[in-house]
Structure 1
Amino acid sequence: MAPTSTSQKAMTTQFVQLTGASDRTAQRYLKNAGYKLNEAVDAYFSGGSGTSTPTTSALDTSLNQMFDKLRDDSRDEKNTLGLDTTMAYLGDLGVNIENAELLVVMELLQAPSVGEITRKGFVDGWKASGAATRQAHVSHIKSLVSSLSTDPAYFRKVYRHTFVASKEPTQKALNLEIATVYWNVLFSPPGWEWKTKNQEWLQLWLKFLEEKWTRSVNRDMWNQILEFATKSMADETLSFWNEDGAWPSVIDDFVAWCKERGIGKSETMDLDA
């Protein structure tokens, strides 16, 4: 049955433009998806069309065209959206660049640095998510952001990519000041809050760094902080830690600093704890 409303007809036109399919095919997929454009396009590009190579090509073309429309010829390279263009794009999508929403998009599009999006990252990221329209991008980002604080595996992906995107390309470590900024962002809403019933771990960690740590943050330290945060969330007594463990020295120092303040178990830790 053909769409009867103006909005449904507009969706049919959009579907055809995005996929290169016929009106009849567009109407069939839209009807099956309850006239939800994103779901219909996703179903089409997931193989339901029966012609995987042309559909992949059509989606690539559509996303490349979208990327080109975003580009500012006067300041962006052919295959890269610079800082100003990226921020404008994120603003158009309703992304809050002051919190972890920014880092969600940077991971999704595999941004080489915060505030920069490559053509390949843009096309590959949105193609993998099946989001072929601006509204689909908005919806998908909201879905990812909502899972950031509830899906540990997904949070880990965003957390680890943040290290890559926030350091200078030629450097192997993060400046401590920059690392502190991103720890604050990642471990605060809508990210994963690093705190327990009795302890504000993020604030303790930042205070420890301010008092005791002056060196840069390498990848291992960055990754191990998340492992420690995860364990401290499950056990605020820190009984999982022992001095013969494989934790980086900075974490050993942090635990000692905490114990001096009556945080965690005060007695000698069992090696098998």
Structure 2
Amino acid sequence: MPPSSTSQKAMTTQFVQLTGASDRTAQRYLKNAGYKLNEAVDAYFSGGSGTSTPTTSALDTSLNQMFDKLRDDSNDAKDSLGLDSTMAYLQDLGINLENAELLVVMELLQAPAVGELTRKGYVDGWKATGAATRQAHVAHIKSLVNSLATDLTYFRKVYRHTFVASKEDNQKALNLELAIVYWNVLFSAPGLLWQTKNHNWLGLWLQFLQEKWTRSVNRDMWNQILEFAIRSMTDETLSFWSEDGAWPSVVDDFVAWCKEKGVGKAETMDLDA
């Protein structure tokens, strides 16, 4: 049963405000979507359930207006959100700030730093998804988070952007303590669990760092640790590693450290080794 005429008018007004479409177009999309506003807007921006797609300017206008509503005029620049506004936005979306959900949003919107968003990143990021409402944003983020542990290509994107967003602007490397924080976040649920049947590799890696490593983490080391993690998850004996390989020296040292502890043998059954 369709909603009352009053509700239909209210939804039509909301649809027009979000999309820039005419009342007639709004009514058509709403009817096709069973008067579900979010589905109607998604269909409009994806080109479905209708005969035409919106102009780029209409979508840009809608997203820019949404960004402006997030800004605090007294604290934020015209084209960026500071820490307080960014955190308020993330909390409104229901993002868990203690796990990889935060990093998913930072990558999606190409945040220049954790806790900072730009207008360009916000508009371009959401425009690329076609998600034009808060409800659609929440649903899209949930879908991305759910894919983190199974889609290695996507996880790699989030992992690599984390390095960019977490280091200081004037630094080429990441402070070790901060790198450890983000390795903990990325390699724990809902991220990629760095462990195999017989070994908790994340625990081993962090123990190795605590005992043997004191330097900062550059981009190459950061990226190569992910590649090593992926390989170790499919071959916990570490037979893929060789002294002649192109791994950074820290990986060579980690493998040697593991061998000294008898780690890497398939018969070992201690997940906390």
Asked if TM exceeds 0.5, the reply is yes
Q: Which residue of 1 aligns with 2:31?
A: 31
Distance 2:34 2:72 in 1: 37
Q: Which residue of 2 aligns with 1:146?
A: 146
Q: CA deviation at 1:36?
A: 3.9
Q: How do 1:1-273 and structure 2 match up within 5 A?
A: 4=4, 8-47=8-47, 55-265=55-265
Retained in 1: the 8 A contact 2:105–2:141?
A: yes
Distance 1:111 1:158 in 2: 11
Retained in 2: the 8 A contact 1:19–1:55?
A: no
Equivalent residue pairs, number:
265
Relative distance call for 1:5 and 1:209 in structure 2 (3 A) is farther
Q: Secondary structure at the match of 1:160?
A: helix
Distance 2:7 2:242 in 1: 63
Retained in 1: the 8 A contact 2:149–2:191?
A: yes
Q: Secondary structure at the match of 1:27?
A: helix
Retained in 1: the 8 A contact 2:187–2:202?
A: yes
Relative distance call for 1:63 and 1:245 in structure 2 (3 A) is same
Q: Secondary structure at the match of 1:263?
A: coil
Q: Deviations over 1:75-121 (max 9, x none)?
A: 11111100011001101110011110000000000000000000000
Distance 1:208 1:102 in 2: 27
**Structure 2, unaligned runs of 5 or more:** 267-273
Q: Which residue of 2 aligns with 1:271?
A: none
Q: CA deviation at 1:41?
A: 2.1
Distance 2:255 2:8 in 1: 60
Q: Which residue identity does 2:63 align to in structure 1?
A: L
**Structure 1, unaligned runs of 5 or more:** 267-273
Q: CA deviation at 1:245?
A: 0.6
TM-score norm. by structure 2 comes to 0.91
Range with greater deviation from structure 2 (32-41 or 116-125): 32-41
Distance 2:14 2:89 in 1: 21
Q: Which residue identity does 1:171 align to in structure 2?
A: Q
Range with greater deviation from structure 2 (40-49 or 142-151): 40-49
Q: CA deviation at 1:265?
A: 4.8
Q: Deviations over 1:112-160 (max 9, x none)?
A: 0000000000111111111111111111111111111111111011000
Q: Deviations over 1:168-205 (max 9, x none)?
A: 01111101111100000000011111011110000100
Q: Which residue of 2 aligns with 1:269?
A: none
Relative distance call for 1:36 and 1:145 in structure 2 (3 A) is farther
Q: CA deviation at 1:37?
A: 3.0
Relative distance call for 1:211 and 1:8 in structure 2 (3 A) is farther
Retained in 2: the 8 A contact 1:63–1:132?
A: yes
Q: Which residue identity does 1:174 align to in structure 2?
A: L
Distance 2:5 2:257 in 1: 66
Q: Which residue identity does 1:130 align to in structure 2?
A: G
TM-score norm. by structure 1 comes to 0.91
Relative distance call for 1:57 and 1:51 in structure 2 (3 A) is farther
Relative distance call for 1:5 and 1:146 in structure 2 (3 A) is farther
Retained in 2: the 8 A contact 1:3–1:27?
A: no
Retained in 2: the 8 A contact 1:2–1:27?
A: no
Distance 1:61 1:83 in 2: 24
Q: CA deviation at 1:3?
A: 5.4
Q: Secondary structure at the match of 1:115?
A: coil
Q: CA deviation at 1:232?
A: 0.5
Range with greater deviation from structure 2 (193-202 or 37-46): 37-46
